[in-house]
Each structure stands twice: as C-alpha cells, then as structure tokens.
A and B are shown apart, each in its own frame.
Chain A
C-alpha cells in the first residue's frame, strides 16, 4: 500500500558508533540475557516492559507513549549478510546500500534526486551537522549542511548584523555577473549564488517558528530543534538527516552510565521533536527512521560491549503501524555467529524499501539495488 500523504518527508537519524540493541530493547525474560550481561544487565525492576519478553531500557521512558499509542515500530535483528565489524565500512554500507563494493552514492542522495530531478530546490535535502554525510552524497545533488541553524550561512563570523548584510550584498554583486573567465570560474559563481540563496531561505526559518517545547541542550537536541524549524518553515525539504556525534555509541568501556545517557539524550530529543511538530500541526507528513550501523556483542566484556552484527532500528510517525517487526535474534549459544554476535534476520534494505516505496512513493529497487521484501510498518 502506497501512502497517500501529500508531500511526504523522511527524517533519518544515524546513531553513529554501533548502538547496543540488546540493552535498548531488552529480552528481559530470556535467562541468557543475565548470563551474557553479568556487568551490564539492566536490573529487572528498572526495565520498562513492552511485551512479556521484551522491555525498554529505562532511559527510553519518553518513547514508551509512542509504543502505547501504536506509532512506534521496532525492527528487530536488522543488518545485512556478512556484517562488517568496522564502524566506518558498516556506516558506508548503510549509507550506500553497497555491501560488496565501495559505493559512492548515498541512498538519500538518490531520494533527493528522484524527488527533485532538476535540482530546482536547493533545500530538498538538508543535513543537520557539518560536512556531507555519505548517505546524502550524490553527484550533482545540492545538500545544505547546517551545523547550527541560528548561525548558518555565509560570512557568519561577522557579528554585527548591518555589517554582515552589507558584506553579503557585496558578495552577491561580486558573484552575480557571468564574467566568462572560464567554465570552472562560472561554475563556482553559480554555486556561490546557489549557496547564498539556500542560506537566505534557511535564515528565515527561526522567525517562522514559535514553540514552547524544550529540547535537551545536547548536540542531538540542537540538531532536532533545527530540524523541526526547517520542517515547520515549509521550504519543500523532503529529506532531513542528522547523526549522533561521530561514533559516540561505541561503548567498549564504562557502558552502564554512558549508554544510558546516550539513550536518554536520543529518546528525549526525539520525543521533543515529535511533540513539537505535532503541536505545530506539521507531523502528518513526517516519518522518522533511526538506526545504528550495527549492534554489539551479546556478551559484555566486563565494562562495555564490543562490535556486533544484528541490531535494532526504529520507525516513528503518525502513519506508522507500531509494533515489533522481524524476530528478536536468538540468544541460544549455538545460534550466535562468530563467537557471540546476534544473527540478523531483516535486511536494512528491506526497511529502506518500505520507506521509499510506501512512504516516499519512489522506485526503491533502483535506490537500494535490488528487490527486498518490504517490512510492513507502513
């Protein structure tokens, strides 16, 4: 079933570093859980049950209401064959859908191009963070990368507004004429004007945004607040992307405290975002997908967990059919692969297929590189 929502928007958050799926959605009634997690097992009385077998880590309390109202889908055992235990390789695989070859084209870059083939809107895809994440990279596709919306744009180091406006005017005049100093110079001038245009439009977003919702003062809280503002402003942005600080979910050591703080930050930030766009009346056309490049080893190492394979991903939105998808990977010792990794049973490209086919109304096959059975969360 293809969604009939007008102007669907896809928001994607990468939990960079390998989130510990087993301590996110916890198989609390499984005796192996206690065996595998002598140091990091979450006490049973703190776990928030969602079924008689599974429960949320207490830090995810703020997401429980979405589970209860049926708008939060949990994809269990998500991964891909022969999972790479390198963060960077695995992030690239999730970004490009190319598990064998090193790919250059990001899946969301393709989405942006399919939605806006002529590149008419410089803000069809917006990244919240610095640089261009591989997921959004595609040749000829412009993407605005917003480190901080309140100070985004050209010549932002000029503090005085009048002075900065004057400088920006001058910049526009210097870049405007096609002087014919060569193809590359013309190209740079066109790109400069495009960047100026994008920055001008984005700069108006905070002024259109009125909200009482508070976000955490973390990087993630800031990015999601900026995301809500850009979405609220109706610039025609269809792809919103951000990532948790680089590799921060890589909890090899001191995980008990660190992981709880990370989950808390993500959960509260996402709850703020959803609450905010609902209050703004702008939640109907948004689906939020958050994932990590892999899960972690079933057994803890005494203080943290090492890189694993099968993990957990979430889909949240007013049109999402909440519930559990895929199967929780077996914890039976003979079912663990390579000495302690949870086997995946849902390919991440299946989840992408659902988001692309059923939400964005695009041809998923071309983007994810093949036919993958959609996961029916939409």
Chain B
C-alpha cells in the first residue's frame, strides 16, 4: 500500500480518535479514506463497548462513589470504544462546555453529563445546548440553581454566551451586550434541580433537573435585538441562528481537529488561522440546520485537514498521549487490573478529566507542557513502548524483522519511525539515534539469542523515540 495513504489514514485516526495499531491503520487504509470517514461519522446507537462486561468486571464504575472511578471508566471507554470519533467528541465538548466535579461533588452526576456529550456530540448543536441548559451538573456548576425570578444569578447566562456558544466577539465587533447577558439569565430563572438526596446513608444519587414555574421570570425580554416573553428554549433558538455561533463552533472544531487557535476570549480581535476553512464549516452549519456531523463531514473531507503541514503540528493532549499510547501498544483492550494507574496519568499530565481548572477549560497546545508534565509524558510513553511484552510492541518488532536479515541502522530507525507514525525526526536527532544503533553492532535476528537482542534494541529505540520532542506532537 502506498505510504501516503497510510500516513493520511494514521493522521485521520489520530485526530478523529485516539490513534490505532499499525494493523488497524493498514486495514482501514485498505477500506479507503472516504469509506472510513463515513464510518466514523455514522456510529451506531450502541455504546461501542460491551458495557455488561465492563460493569461486571468493574462494578464500582456504575455507582461512581468517587470521581476517580468515573475517570477510570472514561479512560476504559476511550481505549476501547469502537466508535472512536464519537468517543473523542465527548472529550471535545467537555473541553468547551465545562463543568467540574470539584464543585459539583457528585461524580455520577458529572459523569452522566459526559455520557450525554458522547451520545449527542455529533448531533444538532441546538439539542446540545438545550441538553446543557437542563443538565444538573452544569446548572449546579454555574450557579443557575441560585438564579431566581427576584434575584437573578448571571453566571450560567453569561458563560452560555461567552464560552459555550457565541463568544465575546468576532471581526473586531462585540457579539452581545451586558443587557443581552441579563436577558439571557432571566430566561433561565427557574431552571433548577429537584431537591437532592443526601449522600449518606443512601449513596450517590444523581441530581435531577426540575423546572420551577413559580421561580421563572415570564416578563418580556429583549435578547440580541429580538423582543418577546422568551424562556431558555427561545434563547437557545436565537443563539443558534447567530453567525457568531457558526463561527464559534467552526473555530472550535478547527482548533481541536486541525490546528491550534488562540483561546476564545481573544477571538474578537484575532482572525482565524484559515478563514476559508472556517467559512466552509460555517456554511455546513447553516445549510444543515446546525448539524455537527455535517460540519465534521466537510472538515474530514477537506484539503485543509488532509494537508501535510497540519500533521504532527499539534501538541498532543494528555488524553492523546495516554490513550494513543495504550492503543498503539495494545494494552487494556479488555478488563484487567491496573487500569486505575493508567487512568490517573492524564491528571498527572495536567488533564484532570471532569475537573477543569475553570469554566474556561484547559489551556491547550504548548501549555500542556511544563517540566513536570513533560517528565510524566516521556516516562509514560517510553515505559509502554519499551515494554517488549506488550502485543502492539511485539507486532512492531516482528515487522522490523521483516525489513531484512540485517537491516542497517538507518533502515531500522526508519522502520521504527514508520511503524510509530509514520513520523519523522529532526536530522540531528536521527543522527544521534543511528549513531547509538551503530555503536551496538549489527542488527541480526538469525537465532534465538540474536532475536532476543534484536527485540531489546527495538524496545530501546522505540523508547528513545518516545522521549523526543517530535513525539509530543500528534
């Protein structure tokens, strides 16, 4: 198969999912890019994993007495969900429509929000905003439960506009005024929770949404130039038809799947990196009546996504590092002990799932990297890729043996880079690695002893590639 097709398929599977083993990349490439995009965009209704098996193996996942349990379940799904784009969209929306269990303090309620992102994340944006506006974790996190007809709390109303849909501004103009924030917040008064059941002695019971008509402001409101007796549903309707909302969703998708954009608060003054790309996504948004799948269809079939210049140009998120590595080495593909330790790794690297630092979410791109997180990223990926007992690593080693009886150090290194990406390294870095390989003597694998040594050196080389700065990009 042509190398270019493999490289493109690997790029698609890294961005529209958490990567794949080489065998899977080749199988998908054989299906053809367009077919695979169609498959990714049309996941089934089923959860994509065997939930019965998971809950039998890990009964505590169901109740989620602690947030770590919810995080571990999510990591299990990320590794194993056969609908990878659907799974990745759950993380996509979580990084934007942020609620944190550090405030909600009810892991099951918080995790249910993520389940809804997974189920609805490729659907209609209007449905998603309506779901969000009735989501107990969000209403609690942004204090809408404290927002009353007679005493309006603007927290949710403001963030709905500023961070979840329209954004502060575009093309040098402001997108809304303070009066719009007030009208928006009034429209959501009475969108509240049913009285909650205490944690003890009953266990964790998820919060439930309840509309309280007595606490709702039915008065006339003017929102973004339209006047009426708006309630939350009307507000969401008006939001969805704004050009700024199309811009917002388009830019967020581009940022997550194609190339880094600056954070939302600067969007009033900062032009999109690729305005033509953004316009094509905006068009899909309106043509389809706000369907996310329509936008993703344009995105994954576009030249701007397939462009070689955008490959390996985004700093991997901690989820990409951890899950991408697990899928590459083929570990935890079924329930077994030890997943908890893997699932805590994203947190150590700065992505505490379901606990964003603020409602603005995580600062991504290069900000994932600091001296502490870099050590964790390097140690985690290199320890996995250097473990020659893991099935994915074994498979890479077997393929390296197919390179020839005694591959040269350059052939061997190229083979490793091809099977890990295909990816490339700076010339200087390549030089250091081939020199190191040369110093170790010929790469023979004729007899058992040579094969063992060959495996060891393959593990070592994969391990060192995992430490490079290039490996931090995906």
* Size bracket of the B interface: 35 or more
**Chain A stretch 199-258: residues in CB contact (< 8 A) with chain B:** 199, 246-247, 252-253
Query: A162 interface residue, CB < 8 Å from B?
Result: no
Complex interface: chain A residues within 8 A of B468 (CB):
174
Query: B447 interface residue, CB < 8 Å from A?
Result: no
Complex interface: chain A residues within 8 A of B63 (CB):
none
Query: B315 interface residue, CB < 8 Å from A?
Result: yes
Given contacts A88-B100, A183-B366, 11 further A-B contacts (CB under 8 A): A88-B103, A155-B463, A155-B467, A167-B464, A175-B469, A181-B426, A188-B469, A192-B374, A192-B469, A195-B375, A199-B375
Docked Cα-Cα span, A185 to B102, in Å, equals: 33
Which one of A30-38, A49-57, A138-146, A260-268 is at the B interface?
A138-146
Interface string of A110-131 (1 = CB under 8 A from B): 0000000000001000010011
Complex interface: chain B residues within 8 A of A156 (CB):
379
Complex interface: chain A residues within 8 A of B370 (CB):
132, 142-143, 191
Docked Cα-Cα span, A12 to B175, in Å, equals: 45
- Inter-chain contact A179/B426, CB cutoff 8 Å: yes
User: What's the nearest-Cβ distance from chain A to residue B386, in Å?
Assistant: 7
Which one of B5-13, B78-86, B281-289, B354-362 is at the A interface?
B354-362
User: What's the nearest-Cβ distance from chain B to residue A116, in Å?
Assistant: 14
Query: B432 interface residue, CB < 8 Å from A?
Result: yes
Interface string of A62-88 (1 = CB under 8 A from B): 000000000000000000000000111
Query: B373 interface residue, CB < 8 Å from A?
Result: yes
Interface size on A, residues (CB 8 A): 51
Interface string of B396-437 (1 = CB under 8 A from A): 000000000000000000000000000000101100110010
- Inter-chain contact B379/A173, CB cutoff 8 Å: no
Given A171-B467, A173-B432, A252-B200 contact (CB < 8 Å): yes
- Inter-chain contact B372/A167, CB cutoff 8 Å: no
Complex interface: chain A residues within 8 A of B352 (CB):
131
User: What's the nearest-Cβ distance from chain B to residue A120, in Å?
Assistant: 14
Complex interface: chain A residues within 8 A of B472 (CB):
188
A-B complex: 5 closest residue pairs judged by Cβ atoms = A88-B102, A157-B383, A86-B105, A188-B469, A195-B371
Query: B154 interface residue, CB < 8 Å from A?
Result: no
Query: A373 interface residue, CB < 8 Å from B?
Result: no
- Inter-chain contact A144/B369, CB cutoff 8 Å: no
- In the complex, which residue of chain B has the Cβ closest to the Cβ of A173? B432
Docked Cα-Cα span, A155 to B463, in Å, equals: 9
- Inter-chain contact B200/A142, CB cutoff 8 Å: no
Complex interface: chain A residues within 8 A of B382 (CB):
155, 157
Complex interface: chain A residues within 8 A of B200 (CB):
252-253, 301, 306
Q: Which residue from A87, A177, A187, A198 sits with its C-beta under 8 Å from B105? A: A87
- In the complex, which residue of chain B has the Cβ closest to the Cβ of A145? B372
Given A154-B375, A301-B200, A191-B369 contact (CB < 8 Å): yes
User: What's the nearest-Cβ distance from chain B to residue A124, in Å?
Assistant: 12
Q: Which of B68, B100, B200, B371 has the most CB of A within 10 A?
A: B371
Query: B55 interface residue, CB < 8 Å from A?
Result: no
- Inter-chain contact B315/A102, CB cutoff 8 Å: no
User: What's the nearest-Cβ distance from chain A to residue B365, in Å?
Assistant: 7
Q: Which residue from A127, A131, A142, A188 sits with its C-beta under 8 Å from B347? A: A131
**Chain A stretch 146-185: residues in CB contact (< 8 A) with chain B:** 153-158, 167, 170-171, 173-175, 177, 179, 181, 183-185
Q: Which residue from B102, B357, B371, B386 sits with its C-beta under 8 Å from A86? A: B102
- In the complex, which residue of chain B has the Cβ closest to the Cβ of A187? B366
Given A184-B315, A187-B369, A89-B429 contact (CB < 8 Å): no
Complex interface: chain A residues within 8 A of B463 (CB):
155, 158, 167
User: What's the nearest-Cβ distance from chain A to residue B71, in Å?
Assistant: 12
Docked Cα-Cα span, A122 to B369, in Å, equals: 15
- Inter-chain contact A174/B432, CB cutoff 8 Å: yes
- Inter-chain contact B379/A89, CB cutoff 8 Å: no
User: What's the nearest-Cβ distance from chain B to residue A207, in Å?
Assistant: 21
Query: A321 interface residue, CB < 8 Å from B?
Result: no
Docked Cα-Cα span, A158 to B379, in Å, equals: 10
User: What's the nearest-Cβ distance from chain A to residue B471, in Å?
Assistant: 10
- Inter-chain contact A131/B464, CB cutoff 8 Å: no
Given A179-B426, A187-B369, A89-B375 contact (CB < 8 Å): no
- Inter-chain contact B371/A142, CB cutoff 8 Å: yes
Query: B378 interface residue, CB < 8 Å from A?
Result: yes
User: What's the nearest-Cβ distance from chain B to residue A117, in Å?
Assistant: 17
Complex interface: chain B residues within 8 A of A144 (CB):
371-372
Complex interface: chain B residues within 8 A of A131 (CB):
347-348, 350, 352, 372, 376
- Inter-chain contact B379/A189, CB cutoff 8 Å: no
User: What's the nearest-Cβ distance from chain A to residue B192, in Å?
Assistant: 19
- Inter-chain contact B436/A170, CB cutoff 8 Å: yes
Complex interface: chain B residues within 8 A of A327 (CB):
none
Q: Enumerate 29 A-B pairs (CB-CB under 8 Å) in ascending A order.
A: A86-B102, A87-B105, A88-B105, A88-B355, A104-B358, A122-B371, A131-B350, A131-B376, A142-B370, A142-B371, A143-B371, A145-B372, A154-B379, A155-B378, A155-B382, A155-B467, A157-B379, A174-B429, A174-B432, A174-B468, A183-B366, A184-B366, A185-B469, A189-B469, A191-B369, A191-B370, A191-B374, A198-B371, A246-B68
- Inter-chain contact B378/A154, CB cutoff 8 Å: yes
Query: A92 interface residue, CB < 8 Å from B?
Result: yes
Given A88-B102, A104-B357, A157-B386, A191-B371 contact (CB < 8 Å): yes
User: What's the nearest-Cβ distance from chain A to residue B362, in Å?
Assistant: 11
User: What's the nearest-Cβ distance from chain A to residue B237, in Å?
Assistant: 30
Query: A44 interface residue, CB < 8 Å from B?
Result: no
Given A187-B369, A191-B374, A195-B374, A89-B105 contact (CB < 8 Å): yes
User: What's the nearest-Cβ distance from chain B to residue A335, in Å?
Assistant: 24
Complex interface: chain B residues within 8 A of A158 (CB):
386, 463
Query: A194 interface residue, CB < 8 Å from B?
Result: yes
